[in-house]
Structures are given as C-alpha cells and as structure tokens.
Amino acid sequence: MAPTTNDAVPMVLARAVRKSFGDHEVLKGIDLEVAAGEVISLLGPSGSGKSTFLRCINHLERIDGGEISVNGQLVGYRRSAGKKYELRPREVAAARRDVGMVFQRFNLFPHRTALENVMEAPVFVKNEGKDSARSRALELLDRVGLSDRSAAYPAQLSGGQQQRVAIARALAMEPTLMLFDEPTSALDPELVGEVLDVMKSLAAEGMTMIVVTHEIGFAREVCDRVVFMDGGVIVEQGEPATLFTNPQHSRTKTFLSKVL
C-alpha cells in the first residue's frame, strides 16, 4: 500500500530554505507550499536553483537554513524539545521511500534488465518478496508502455524507453510525491513525447508532482501552477494560463520572451 496522505496537510512545505555551495548561495530563502495532488512546474534559467531545490526536498542536498516537510514530516530532521536534530542516514533513507525521483540521466543498472531494474528497490529496500515485486514491476512496465521490453537491458533501449523504465522504477516504491529533474533534457526531440505522455497520465491519476522542465507545452497543459525561479529566489508563480500570457515581473517577461 502507498503511504496515506492527509489532504489538510501540504504535501510539500518549504519555509525560508537556504543552500550554499562554498561561498555561492544557490537558494536564498525559498517559500513554497504544494498541495496533495497538485502538479507544479519549476521554470527558470540555468543556475537559478531549481534542481538544487528539488534535491533538497529529497534530502539529496542538506539545506543550510529553513526547513522542508513532506506530508507533514520534516525532511532530514526530527524536532524534539523545540530543537531540530539531523536524522541518521538510515532514517533519511526510510523517509525517502515516500518520494520518487527521476533525473536527467536515467541511472539504470546496466547489467540488469528493465524488469530487474524496477524490481530492485522493492526487493532490497522494502524486503518485498520477489514474486510480488516481479508482478508489480510487470504491471508498471505495462503502465509506461514497455511490457514487451521487460527482458531488455538498458543498452538495448532508446533513451525514451530508458527514462520510462526509470519512471516505473520510481513508482515501484509507491511514492506519495514524484520529483522530476528535467526528465526529457537528455532525450532526442522525437523521444520527448513518449516520456511526457507517461507524466501526463500520472498527473491525471492524481499523483503529486514537482517538475523542473523547459517543456513549456507540458507546463501549460498539465501543471496546476508554474513557479518561476531566478537567482535562487521564487520571482513569480501562478496558473499557467495567467503566468504565460500576463507575467508581472520583468525577469519573468524576459525569460518567457526567449522560450515561448
């Protein structure tokens, strides 16, 4: 069973999130709330902090200030007697099970078939029985349109097919939240659509999603809200129809004039 969610609690709540790499401050106080079932697109120029923020949500990057919670639980920390304490790596890994993440690069195990890649985490992380994991993995491969490629190795798959396997692998952990970090940027243009179609179907099924993307068509058609970031801050956000046709901030206008 997937973890339950409480609709009254934001799926993601970020408050004053800051992150630096050395002397370079990448995130300068991010505030964002994402409701369960909402699909959010993060837009902005390269270096604006979008991918870093996404990685902070999953505690792949440790934040330097503020806090993030997912489904009411602090990310990377626990609070006791008014103080925050960093979780141990095993506790972080356990909490991360509820969050699926798909990267620019597919990161599949090259020596495992598509089926084995999808089975890997349920078997070795959740200790699920192999028969059950296999059955679920076959269902997920069918869901992403790859039921006929379950025995193929990554090198035998196109980039779009590999990315769809990566999505199925993330879904195998039954996450309540899916994070996508430019999932189509490494694909040839003719393969982009097959990945976006899978993401559209997830959105239609009510999956909470935060997507870093430059695919304006996807953001316009599928997302409930577009968040424009630049220079480590959220500059502007709103419904796609409003933000794309009537942006309020000059930085948003300049960016959209180049990508639309």
The tokens for 198 are 């899978």
pLDDT band at 105 (very low <50, low <70, confident <90, very high): confident
The tokens for 45 are 């120029």
Q: What pLDDT does 63 receive?
A: 93
Out of 44-58, 88-102, 136-150, least confident range? 88-102
pLDDT tens for each residue of 40-91: 999 999 999 999 999 999 999 999 999 999 999 899 888 888 788 888 888 8
d(CA 101, CA 103): 6
**Cα within 13 Å of Cα(229), Cβ side:** 27
Q: What pLDDT does 190 receive?
A: 87
| Model confidence, pTM | 0.93
pLDDT band at 200 (very low <50, low <70, confident <90, very high): very high
pLDDT top residue among 53 and 95 = 53
Q: In angstroms, what CA-CA distances link 219 with 40, 49, 148, 185, 226?
A: 8, 18, 30, 15, 7
Instruction: Kindly state the average pLDDT of the residues 219-228.
Output: 96
- Whether residue 5 is predicted with pLDDT greater than 80 in this model: the reply is no
For Cα atoms 19, 91, 66, give the angle at the middle one, nearest 5 degrees: 25
Q: What pLDDT does 2 receive?
A: 44
For Cα atoms 254, 179, 72, give the angle at the middle one, nearest 5 degrees: 110
Tell the burial category of 108 from Cβ atoms under 10 Å away from its Cβ (0-12, 13-18, 19+): buried
- Whether residue 29 is predicted with pLDDT greater than 60 in this model: the reply is yes
- Whether residue 217 is predicted with pLDDT greater than 50 in this model: the reply is yes
d(CA 27, CA 234): 9
Summary mean pLDDT of the chain: 92
The tokens for 199 are 């993401």
The tokens for 232 are 């480590």
Q: What pLDDT does 1 receive?
A: 40
Contact partners, residue 251, CB within 8 Å, separation at least 6:
228, 230, 235, 236
Contact partners, residue 91, CB within 8 Å, separation at least 6:
78
Tell the burial category of 129 from Cβ atoms under 10 Å away from its Cβ (0-12, 13-18, 19+): exposed
pLDDT top residue among 5 and 181 = 181
Q: How, if at all, do strands 24-34 and 12-21 pair?
A: antiparallel
186 with 162: CB under 8 angstroms? Answer: no
